[in-house]
Copies of this chain bind each other. A is one copy, B any other.
Amino acid sequence: MEKSFTLNELAVLVEGEVVGDGNLQISGLNGIDYADAGEITFITSAKKTGQLAGCKASACIVPMECADLDLPCIRVQNPDLAAAVIHNHLLEVKFEAQGVVQPTHIGNKCSIPDEVTIGPMVCIGDRVTIGERVLIYPGVVLGSDTVIGDDTVLHANVSVAQGSIIGKRVMIHANASIGSDGFGYATDQSGNHVKKPQVGNVQIDDDVDIGANSCVDRAAFGTTRIRRGVKIDNQVMVAHNVDVGENSILVGQVGIAGSTSLGRNVVLGAKAGLAGHLKIEDRVMVAGMGGVHTNLKAGTVVGGVPAIDIKKWGKATASYARLPEMRKDLKKLRRDVDKLLDFINNSGGETDRERKEE
């Protein structure tokens, strides 16, 4: 069943240069500690060449600067990327549709092609449109009027609420919640909270990944939008009316409050939090655990709570542990200076009087 390619064929995929036997057959890719004969492995830096010593792989993807290795190689600019591309190619399988596996509930007026696999225990509402080669794992619930694009995969127990629009080649992992109500209340004079109806929806564009147990809330009005190529890790929270720009990355346990917009290729480190109604421009990076409550210009890199320039933050954190010592130094200085002032004052100087005036 395994597919097999020559080293030359794989090199073409990644614009790489073969060193050694280009006709070598490769049937898999594996990490350096796991690779076996017939597999290709990879190193991301020339410094790691030594790690290949005991490795059983038959070939290796290496950076351009690598030469004279004991095994056949594909030399590339970006071995990490080349490994991903080759690995995906080796794993590529034709979609094998199993159709709709019972028991399943499917509502009225749905459009479901033959070329799908819809696992048992799946519930699909009314007027749902499913694309070609969609794979829906057991326990998934799709609300009415949802749209699922071609080649999309919804893992076990994912919930997609009514009206959500999901693109092509999207992958949503287990127990994620798409399209739940946004968190919006108006408070009356007695302190009771009146729910603001959340009548918008969620739109997830092509090639988006969403991690397990993550949430993307539906908009109050309009649409919460996750744009093309965005990758979202586990347990991330995207609130109502947020707009996440193309190819942005939200690492695990990130939270984004309502109506904040992110540009393209923004990176939010693990557990970072963004306040609501912010404009975060292209390529902004927030260090893990950072808390942002101001707009950020393109390319800004910040850390800390509240988040500041990453370099300033790095320096400040380095001084933080010294705070108690600094306080002692300050007290000591104060005492010394007071003595000096006293001394000079007693010598007939004016300094002390001036000081008292302030």
A interface residues with partner B (beta carbon < 8 Å): 30-31, 33-34, 78, 80-81, 83-85, 87-88, 91, 101, 103, 105, 119-121, 123, 137-139, 141, 143, 155-157, 159, 161, 171, 173-177, 180-181, 183, 185-188, 191-197, 199, 207, 209, 211-215, 217, 220-222, 229, 231, 233-235, 237, 239, 246-247, 249, 251-253, 255, 257, 264-265, 270-271, 273, 275, 288-289, 291, 293, 304-306, 308-309, 312-313, 315-324, 326-327, 329-330, 332-337, 339-341, 343-344, 349-351, 354-355, 358
Min CB distance A277 to B, Å, is 13
A177-B173 contact, Cβ under 8 Å, with A231-B193, A289-B305, A340-B344: yes
Query: What is the CB-to-nearest-CB distance from A202 to chain B, in angstroms, rounded to a whole number?
Result: 12
Q: How many copies does the complex hold?
A: 3
**A326:B324 contact, CB within 8 angstroms:** no
CB distance from A212 to the nearest CB of B (A): 4
B contact residues around A183 at 8 Å (CB): 211, 231, 233-234, 251-252
With the chains together, A217 CA to B212 CA distance in Å? 9
The residue on B at minimum CB distance from A190 is: B247
Residues of B within 8 A of A103 (CB): 103, 105, 121
A234 and B324 form a contact (CB under 8 A)? no
Q: Which residue of B lies closest to A316 (CB)?
A: B323
CB of A294 to closest CB in B, whole Å: 12
Are B315 and A323 within 8 A (Cβ)?
A: yes
Which of B138, B308, B313, B319 contacts A105 (CB under 8 A)?
A: B138
Please measure, in the bound complex, the distance between the C-alpha atom of A289 and the C-alpha atom of B175, giving whole angstroms.
25
Chain B residues with Cβ below 8 Å from A239 are 234, 252
* A30 and B200 alpha carbons, distance in the complex (Å): 10
Name 17 extra pairs, CB < 8 A, besides A85-B186, A105-B119, A336-B337. Answer: A30-B221, A31-B220, A81-B186, A84-B196, A139-B141, A143-B156, A155-B159, A156-B159, A159-B174, A183-B233, A215-B235, A271-B291, A316-B322, A318-B324, A320-B320, A329-B334, A337-B340
- CB neighbours (8 Å) of A319 from chain B are 323-324, 326-327
One of B121, B186, B247, B313 near A191 (C-beta < 8 A): B247
A194 touches B237 (CB 8 A): no
CB distance from A183 to the nearest CB of B (A): 4
- Contact assessment for A87 and B177 in the assembled complex, using a CB-CB cutoff below 8 Å: no
Q: Which of A156, A192, A239, A334 has the most CB of B within 10 A?
A: A156
